[in-house]
Structure 1
């Protein structure tokens, strides 16, 4: 069964919160991480998660974490 717009919105918020928590656990903070509000405003929302911008130190930390997870 397909999710309702409200369920999709809640799922998007939940996954952003989970992603933020897991990244924080690994020492990475993406300050602009959020659900894109424009994609939530459509009649049939298909929310997008916006990872946003980060500084060089954060990008380098994210690379290190991802390399560690892959190895």
Structure 2
């Protein structure tokens, strides 16, 4: 039972991180449409969740690079 509780907390933490990233990206005028948790990393008794940034258009990739460099318009 304790392992299940830890697993649920680990997954919830990853969901929160994903949501924080989504909000920060939105604040920079960016959307990563495939932003999610990686399903494979959630499998098993001891999940190690990964945030999957997914795919985006070249334009979005360039805008993301600009945002990371502090060049957001």
Settle same-fold status: TM greater than 0.5.
Answer: yes
Alignment-derived partner of residue 56 in structure 2: 54
Question: CA RMSD of the aligned region, Å?
Answer: 1.5
Aligned residues: 67
Deviation digits for residues 8-51 of structure 1 (CA, Å, limit 9, x no counterpart):
00000111011001000001111111111111122100001101
Alignment-derived partner of residue 34 in structure 2: 32
Question: 1:1-71 counterparts in 2 under 5 A?
Answer: 4-68=6-70
Q: Structure 1 unaligned runs (5+)?
A: none
Q: Distance in 1 between matches of 2:44 and 2:33?
A: 25
- The TM-score, its normalising length taken from structure 1, stands at 0.88
User: Which stretch of the first structure deviates more once superposed, 60-69 or 45-54?
Assistant: 60-69
- The TM-score, its normalising length taken from structure 2, stands at 0.85
Moved over 2 A (4+): none
